[in-house]
Amino acid sequence: MKLTPISTAWLFAASFYAAAAIGFLPNPLLGAQGLFVTNTAHNLVHLLTGVGFTIVALIGSKASVVFMQAFGVIYALTGFIGFFATGHGGDAHLLGLVHVNTLDNFLHLGLGVVIGAAGWYFQPRWASGRPSVVTHQS
């Protein structure tokens, strides 16, 4: 499979759908008592993120690239802000709704960097795919 902005958006969509599904099922990894603390609001954010990636994958390369860039920045900022909310260990609720802990913050920060980097990696490839004006000299 060739790695394209669209295939990458589909990969991220599937990953966020999986995180949402796992978060709704009792398990030791994601959940109220999991290694990565989540609640219903947090799981819904994962689900809506998967929907966002699905929509841009269906729209095309440009939408996928822009979404990855914007989402990467937003997710990295979410991780960064989460550290202020949780302090040195512990857990908190972002915006009073989304339950996070320190591990979530590291994960969000890392995913933000990876997703944003994917968007910027594809930026020159997407931009260079535009038709150029060809002039002929006689």
Domain ranges in the chain are 5-125
pTM: 0.86
Q: Pairing state of beta strands 36-37 and 30-31?
A: parallel
> Mean pLDDT across the stretch 74-95?
90
Question: Whose CA is closest to 111, among 85, 78, 86, 63?
Answer: 78
Top pLDDT among 134 and 92 is at: 92
Whole-number average pLDDT of the chain: 89
Helix, strand, or coil here: 101?
strand
* pLDDT score for 115: 98
> If you ran DSSP here, which 8-state letter would residue 136 be given?
-
User: Which amino acid is it at 96?
Assistant: G
Q: Is the pLDDT of residue 5 over 60?
A: yes
Give residue 125's pLDDT band: very low, low, confident or very high (50, 70, 90).
low
